[in-house]
Amino acid sequence: MTNLKFDLVVVGCGVAGLSAAVSAAENGLKVAVLERATREERGGQSRFTEAYLRMKSETEVTDDFDDFLAENSGFYQDPDFVAESLSERQYWSAQTRALPAVDAGIIGTFSENVPVTISWLQENGVKFDFLPTQFLTSTQPRLLPVGGGEAIVETLAAKAENLGATFFYETSGRELILTRNGEVSGLKAHSRTEGSLEFEGEVVLASGGFEGNSEMLTRYLGHRAAYLRPVCKGGYYNRGEGIRMALDVGAAAGGEFGNYHAEPVDPRSGISEPSIFIFPYGVLVNKEGRRFTDEAPGTVDAWYERITRKIYAQTDGIAYCVLDQKVKDIPNYRLGIRTDQPAIEAGTLEGLAEKLEVPVEEFVATVRAYNAGCKGGDYRPLEEDGVCTESVVPAKSNWALPIDQGPFMAYPVISANVFTFGGLKIDDGARVVNIDGDPIKGLYAAGETVGMYYRNYCGGTSVLRGLTFGRIAGRTAAGLEA
């Protein structure tokens, strides 16, 4: 077995791992970066994402940033533990320190460090702008890196290389190495070309969630996880070993292991994020030919995840977004349709039902009942307009126009698994804590390997989380404050 000595070993080459690597290397540490993919495919999911950032300017997060994260930081928390968590961490009980819920201090550290992280990225060559998104209606602005996640990956990887970091491609971490005192002193890994490797040094786990691991998905999400697939090809690299190896040495869990970030995509497409965000302007029907949800309770950016979860709950985890020709009157409507596959079209509702292979009579009755419930109003497709149905179950709250102008169109929609919610618990220095709530010396985590979400994903925060806590992990390992 080959033994390699570094100050810091970073597992993962996405935005979280690269932020840790650059941050540590620029502060004098000798850094290794392990990446399961080849050099050409490096970056995992980060390489494929557009990297929406929930910010209203380059120096400010959105006004709801802290509140949204706090509202989705856990379920039915014991009020005594919540009150305790608002005091200084040194006074917390072991129960509070190890709670799987997200500490208020972590949320505060996150939002406070976003502006300095963006400034740091700009100093390292990443550019940002407010660019068009997939959302035709939205409640919050999104700052984007010019060139998307790939630009962040390539810019930070080049910086890490220039700072002397060593990259090990087609190499994955397998097992943490502990001292007799339970401190992390290294990592066992496997290289596709060199076999077993052993790294000496502190470790940052930034290898994503487990959306690419069917066994873990079934264990934590249940048998219906078979209907899920990663939102992009980079997600197949995320097999959960960073989470597993830390739990194996007594790390505390964080986040909701039985949940994930859902996005509506076209299952026929193989491109990255072939999303279908146009459904608020039509109806969603299941394989039985029936509607099952309000397609437009509010702006699509705020509601798409909850609606996608309802799609996932349908027979075989699939539904069909049914539209008519009026959708083409919406300005820039194609922004809401990212698939590279054409719509399924037919001149009649009966013909469309046959092509979708759903019960014809049920489908036609469903659409006609919906049409009869559309009462009209001041239709404004790019803002919530309150144009709703009456006496239709389920109701539709906005943009309720009849589907009566053929040819009729439909897109199949399934739930993609953007990333899993369950992961490791960290403190505000990105140190992994153990089941007693104490930091595990020599072990850090960032990105999707960290569990930080419950119920609903706070859109535009995941890439920010990886960048921010990756940078913090590198600085902590170098002996600096966040």
Mean pLDDT of 128-147: 88
Q: For position 82, what pLDDT does the model report?
A: 82
- For the chain, the average pLDDT equals 95
Please report where in the chains the tokens 């873990």 appear, as a residue: 216
Give every CB contact of residue 453 below 8 A, 6+ residues apart in sequence: 72, 255, 256, 259, 261, 421
Residue 365: Cβ within 10 Å count: 14
Give every CB contact of residue 106 below 8 A, 6+ residues apart in sequence: 426, 427, 428, 452
Give every CB contact of residue 223 below 8 A, 6+ residues apart in sequence: none
Peptide bond into 331 cis (omega under 30): no
pLDDT digits (tens, 9 = 90+) for 335-379: 999 999 999 999 999 999 999 999 999 999 999 999 999 999 999
Q: What is the CA radius of gyration of the chain?
A: 23
Mean pLDDT of 312-322: 98
First-residue to last-residue Cα distance in the chain: 36
Report CA 431 to chain centroid distance, whole Å: 21
Q: For position 84, what pLDDT does the model report?
A: 85
Q: For position 85, what pLDDT does the model report?
A: 83
pTM: 0.94
Is residue 426's pLDDT more than 70? yes
Residue predicted with more confidence, 275 or 80:
275
Residue predicted with more confidence, 142 or 257:
257
Q: Report yes or no: 421 and 451 within 8 Å, Cβ to Cβ.
A: yes
Pairing state of beta strands 344-346 and 195-205? unpaired
Q: Report yes or no: 89 and 105 within 8 Å, Cβ to Cβ.
A: yes
pLDDT digits (tens, 9 = 90+) for 432-449: 999 999 999 999 999 999
Mean pLDDT of 197-221: 97
Is residue 131's pLDDT more than 90? no
Calpha distance 310→294 (Å, rounded):
10
Mean pLDDT of 191-210: 97
Calpha distance 415→314 (Å, rounded):
10
Is residue 123's pLDDT more than 80? yes
3-state secondary structure of 363: helix
**Structural domains for the chain:** 2-259+421-477 (3.50.50.60), 262-416 (3.90.700.10)
Mean pLDDT of 71-86: 86
Amino acid at 145: P
217-221, 396-400, 444-448, 477-481: segment of lowest average pLDDT: 477-481
Calpha distance 410→173 (Å, rounded):
43
- φ, ψ for residue 261, nearest 5 deg: -85, 120
What percentage of the chain has pLDDT greater than the value 90? 89
Q: For position 1, what pLDDT does the model report?
A: 60
Calpha distance 207→446 (Å, rounded):
9
- Closest-CA residue to 339 (of 68, 97, 134, 41): 134
Q: Report yes or no: 149 and 463 within 8 Å, Cβ to Cβ.
A: yes
- pLDDT category at 452 given cuts 50, 70, 90 is very high
Q: For position 92, what pLDDT does the model report?
A: 87
pLDDT digits (tens, 9 = 90+) for 253-277: 999 999 999 999 999 999 999 999 9
Is residue 29's pLDDT more than 80? yes
